[in-house]
Every structure is written in C-alpha cells, then in structure tokens.
Chain A
Amino acid sequence: MECRDAQFYLRWQRHATDELGAEVTTALRQHLAQCPVCAAESQALLAFDKAIARAMKAVPVPPALRDRIRTHVATQRGARLRVQLYRTAVSVAAAVVLVLLGLSIFSSTRPRVDPQMLAELADDQLHRPDDYIQNWLIAQKLPTELPHQFDWELVTHRGFDDVQGLKVPVIVFTTPDGRDFAKVYIFRKDGRFDMRDLHAGQASRASADVYDTPHAVYVIVYTGGPRGLQRFLTNRPPGGPAT
C-alpha cells in the first residue's frame, strides 16, 4: 500500500473496529508499521476522533430523567388502556343493543298463545266438525275427499303423526264409548315414501287398509275387528278396501 492509499483509508479507520475489511486493514497496518509519516498521521487522526468522542459523550443526564420517563410512559399507558377500555365498552354496549333489538324483533313477531282462539276452534270442531276437517285438509293442500264417508261427529283429532321418522297428516276418529278408534293416514305422492306394491295389514286387535288414489295413498288403521271400520262411517263405502 502506498502513502496516498493509506491516507485515503485513514480517514475512515476506527478504534477497535475492522470496518474497512480484513484485506485493507491488514495492508494498512503493514504500511503504518513501516511508514512513520503515515503512522503519525494515523495517531493524529485517532487522537482527534478520541477528543471529539469524549466531548460528544460529555452530556450530563438529568438525575431524575429515568423516573420522569417512566412516569410519562405510565401515564401514556394508562391513557391507552383507558381508550382500549372505552372501545371495548362501546363494542360490548353495541353488541348488547343489537342482541336486545334482535330479541325485541323476535319477541314482537313470534305468535302469542291464544286460549280464546283454541276454545273457538274446539267450538268449531263440536258444532261444524265437517268444516273443521275440510278446512284443515284445504290448508294442508290435501284432497278434501276421503276414501269413505266418515262420520265427522266422531273426529277427535287431526294433525301429524311421526311415521318412520317423517311427519304424516292424520285424522283420528273415536267411538263414543272411547274403546275403539280409526286413524286415517294421508301419504302424499311427493316421493318421500316408497309406496309401490302396498298391501293391507293385520295385527291382533287392529287392521290397516290401503287406498291408492291419484293424489294420495290413504292408510286407515282401525280397531274393533274386521268390520270395526263400519262404526266410523255414515254409509257403506263406494269401493271396497284394497287387500
């Protein structure tokens, strides 16, 4: 390394660092070891740097600064926590208002239990049992004609029964003495059930007849023996039950 190069690098040499790179630093050291002029210049520059560094660092730090910073940070942290708390509270309040609003809407739209209406329905069932059943069949979009002319006075219930896991419309007739009953199940032809090749059924005390019509399949279950169904009819059926 020549003196010009050495003096170029001397401007950036630092104490105890090797930022010029190992190759340059080694070459510079070798040059300084053999060139008293550059070595002296190096010493002078480092002395200048040391003098400036000493003065640069000679800044008295206020004795209570650390405590003041800690106080300042604690105050800021408190303010931030308060803001966060406020935001959380606002969010919770908004959520509560939304829930209450939802509950209010739900509450105002859900049906109210109406004993009066139920009493009037029971009246209809007693006084106009045929209308009571007909209107229900219409509401359920079911054929209004049943396979037999039933005695509507004997209707005790109409609604839905669970049949093999599915809700099926049913009309229940009961004899005046309450000992026998007939249930008319109405299976729509909507594909929910496999209704191919159905046959009548027979148990020890109950029978089941099947009537296949264009819009629905009727299964009539009744007690009272083979002729038990007759007790619920006003006249003989036009066609006999399927076998």
Chain B
Amino acid sequence: MSSAHGLLALIDAHYESLYRYAYRLSGTPADAEDLTQETFGKALAHLSQLREPERAKAWLFRILRNLYLHKVRDSQRHKEIPLESLGDLPQRPPDDPLPEIDPGKLQQALNDLDETFRTPLILFYFEEFSYRDIAEQMDVPIGTVMSRLARGKAYLRHRLFPSHERDHPRLPEAKAVSGSPQVTDGVP
C-alpha cells in the first residue's frame, strides 16, 4: 500500500477505534486526538513499509502506542499503582449482578495503572486483539500478557467494585497445568 488514497481508506476504517484506544491510554480527549492524528501522520510517512494490508490495524495500533510511550517518557505524568499487593481475580457469587460501570471511573482507574498493564487491558476489552496480537503489539511473551491481564482485571475489580472484593474471598492459587501457556510475573 503506497498511495494517499490507501491512507484515506485506512483513516475511514480505523480512526474511531484508534481514537478510543488513544483515549483509554492517555485519559484525555485532547491527547487522544493528537495521538490519533500523529499516528496517521506517521503512517503516511511509512506507508510503503506496510506489506500486509490485512495487518494495517495492528500496525496502526502499534504506531499509536509507540507515540504514546514516547510522550509519556517525556512527561512521566502518570502515577503508577504497584500491583504487587494485588492477587488474581477474586471470586464472586453468580447471583450477585454487577452494577453498570461508569466509563469515567474506569478511565480514572486506567490512568492510575502502569502502561504495561493498561495496554493489554484496553486491547483485551476491545475484543479485537487476541492474546497473541497483544503480545506482538507489546513485544512480550504471550504468558506475560496473560499474567498482566489477570492482575489488571483484579486491579479493576478492586477499584471499581471494592465492596465485592471485601465481601468475597479470593480464589485459591491454581496449580500450573502441563501444556498451558507459561504465565510469568510481568509486574514491573
């Protein structure tokens, strides 16, 4: 893909999901818009490098994340919540329905989370990226992605449903099963 026409098609196809991703990463509409625009600007400059058009979305998401990391590295504005104290996803009774989650509170929770946990959570919940896709996006083993997701989910539950966690004990540690992906710590 090398034409401006091709890039316009990419914009039409992916600008919304990129904006949402950027918003969840950065936490502000202004930063999200800047990141989305810069992503397409960067894509324009490197369009000839896109060999597989069907991988365009993953390519654009990767560009956006790199731009975001570059910005964050400069500003270091995110507080990071250490996840060492958090365990895996707590158990809750099935007849206890979850209240609707306020997207604003979700964003606050994400903002306080280290990027290495935030990115897999966002990509996971967009339900468009497999564990393998997320691992490729982040250049980490798939086991690391799964571990970070498990701990990230636990963190979200802790932040968004604190009463549930208080009321219900955590799951006991499960044993490792032969043949399953190796789950590494992944906590920075």
Contacts and interface: CB of A to CB of B under 8 A. Distances in A.
Given A11-B89, A54-B101, A24 B180 contact: yes
Nearest to A39: B94
Nearest to B131: A19
Which size class do A's interface residues fall under? Answer: 35 or more
Contacts of A69: 11, 15, 36-37, 40
Interface stretch (A41-49, A95-103, A205-213): A41-49
24 contacts: A4-B172, A7-B171, A8-B177, A11-B88, A11-B150, A12-B131, A23-B179, A44-B92, A48-B89, A49-B125, A49-B153, A52-B160, A53-B125, A54-B101, A59-B20, A61-B16, A65-B33, A69-B36, A69-B37, A72-B40, A72-B41, A73-B11, A73-B44, A80-B44
Nearest to A55: B101
Which size class do B's interface residues fall under? Answer: 35 or more
Contact of B91 (A41, A70, A73): A41
A8 B175 contact: yes
Contacts of B153: 11, 48-49, 52
Nearest to B29: A62
A76 interface: yes
B45 A48 contact: no
Contacts of A47: 97-98
B177 A5 contact: yes
B51 to A, nearest CB: 21
A110 B110 CA distance: 79
B175 A55 contact: no
Interface of A: 4-5, 7-9, 11-12, 14-15, 17, 19-21, 23-24, 40-41, 43-45, 47-49, 51-59, 61-62, 65-66, 68-70, 72-73, 76-77, 80
Contacts, number: 133
Given A8-B175, A53-B127, 11 more contacts: A5-B174, A19-B130, A19-B131, A41-B91, A55-B101, A59-B32, A65-B19, A66-B12, A73-B8, A73-B11, A76-B45
A23 B179 CA distance: 10
A52 B97 CA distance: 13
Interface string B1-22: 0001001100110011001100
Contacts of B8: 70, 73
Contacts of A53: 125-127
A54 B103 CA distance: 8
